[in-house]
């Protein structure tokens, strides 16, 4: 009798272990890979631009150009600015950058600031930019991730569109096809908007 009870107990435990193993394997198989660089081009979902219903002033931002000179967001007062936060290790960032460079060439009224969040930016960014052939794009460095933190960015790439008055118009999390007809039309709308011409109040308020 005791032997039969022991066999039943072992059998139940074995069945429960198999069921638990099956649940674990199912969850592992259903999880997407956490390694950004492993995804192929066709697997990278494009982000969607999210406009701000009530644009608020952008925080003061400071970064550096490739020569090490300090640059601030206020230096671009009076222009529509597209900040793109990226890194050399970020595969979606790398894939979108050529289209970002083409967007800058097409819309010279727009100031595209591609700000690297690499910790060793001064060392790794220049050869990366040369290899990718995007020398015409405005490349900047933020090795301490100050811009990232000030804007509350949660992942790379992230792009922030800022109006002439220094207010954040919207953001896009993830990669984008920046010179696609729809994206160009969207940004041209902000460039042409009557409410986005003239004044640089938000910039001026932080620089006086």
pLDDT (tens digit, 9 = 90+) per residue, 109-168? Answer: 999 999 999 999 999 999 999 999 998 899 999 999 999 999 999 999 999 999 999 999
> What is the structure's pLDDT at 45?
61
φ, ψ for residue 58 (rounded to 5)?
A: -70, 150
User: Are 161 and 82 contacting, i.e. CB atoms less than 8 angstroms apart?
Assistant: yes
| 63-80 pLDDT tens trace | 999 999 999 999 999 999
Query: What are the residues facing 157 on neighbouring strands?
Result: none
Report, as an integer, the average pLDDT of 87-108.
97
User: Are 73 and 207 contacting, i.e. CB atoms less than 8 angstroms apart?
Assistant: no
> What is the structure's pLDDT at 158?
98
User: Are 109 and 80 contacting, i.e. CB atoms less than 8 angstroms apart?
Assistant: yes
> What is the structure's pLDDT at 37?
33
Identify the helix (H) or strand (E) that includes residue 173. strand 168-173
**118 closest CA partner among 134, 131, 110, 129:** 129
Lookup: tokens for 129: 């930019």
**Strongest mean pLDDT among 33-37, 194-198, 204-208:** 194-198
Higher pLDDT, 47 or 4: 47
> What is the structure's pLDDT at 152?
96
| Rounded CA separation 56/151 (Å) | 12
Lookup: tokens for 166: 């220094």
DSSP assignment of 126-149 equals HHHHHHHT-TTS-EEE-TT-HHHH
Higher pLDDT, 27 or 91: 91
């Amino acid at each position: 009798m005791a032997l039969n009870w022991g066999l039943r107990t072992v059998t139940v435990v074995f069945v429960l272990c198999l069921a638990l193993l099956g649940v674990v394997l199912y969850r592992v198989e259903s999880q997407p890979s956490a390694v950004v660089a492993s995804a192929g081009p066709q697997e990278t979902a494009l982000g969607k631009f999210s406009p701000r219903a009530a644009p608020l002033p952008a925080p003061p931002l400071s970064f550096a150009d490739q020569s090490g000179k300090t640059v601030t967001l206020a230096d671009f007062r009076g222009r529509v600015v597209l900040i793109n936060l990226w890194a050399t290790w970020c595969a979606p960032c790398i894939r979108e950058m050529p289209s970002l460079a083409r967007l800058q060439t097409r819309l010279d009224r727009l100031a595209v600031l591609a700000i690297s969040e690499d910790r060793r930016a001064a060392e790794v960014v220049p050869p990366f930019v040369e290899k990718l052939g995007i020398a015409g794009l405005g490349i900047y460095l933020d090795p301490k991730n100050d811009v990232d933190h000030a804007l509350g960015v949660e992942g790379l790439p992230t792009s922030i569109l800022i109006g002439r008055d220094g207010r954040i118009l919207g953001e896009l999390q993830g990669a984008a096809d920046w010179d696609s007809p729809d994206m160009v039309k969207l940004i041209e709308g902000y460039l042409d908007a009557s409410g986005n011409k003239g004044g640089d109040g938000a910039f001026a308020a932080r620089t006086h």
